[in-house]
Amino acid sequence: MSLTAYQQASARAENPRETEYRLFSMVTRALMDVQGLGRQNLGALSSAIDWNKRVWGALGQDCADDRNGLDASLRAGIISLAMFVERYSPQVVRDNADIDILIDINRTVMQGLAPNAGSPSNTNEGRAEKIAANG
């Protein structure tokens, strides 16, 4: 089976939440792969940070759209996180700031997107609000 056929089949079989989880998994893995490199491989670090920024930028834009069906407080939390990622990311590349913060944010969002995340204490809204308050 070709890669294109696999991607098409995967896209049809996933719901949006699963797709978002998979995307966060991939971008978080890229951040973890460059985690210890610091300035040793600036190209790889910059690329992973840029990808993460683009993911968060797209989420922020989506949540800023009035047609977005998420709860307003969850949308606000995601927008706050997107703004934090936008401000903090250049510090990781330029000033060797701690990349763990970005990885932790992504992991927390992934926990909220995980299939067992539907319980009241594990909702995306609660997690996003906690992250935004601390970010």
Determine the pLDDT at residue 115.
79
Of the candidates 21, 29, 32, the one whose C-alpha atom is nearest the C-alpha of residue 124 is 21
Check whether 55 has a pLDDT greater than 80: yes
Number of residues in the chain: 135
Of the candidates 18, 30, 12, the one whose C-alpha atom is nearest the C-alpha of residue 110 is 18
Q: Is the pTM of this model over 0.85?
A: no
Q: Which residue has the tokens 């890229």?
A: 30
Instruction: Tell me the pLDDT tens digit for each residue of 82-129.
Output: 999 999 999 999 998 999 999 999 999 999 988 776 544 444 444 444
What distance, in Å, lies between the first and last C-alpha atoms of the chain? 43
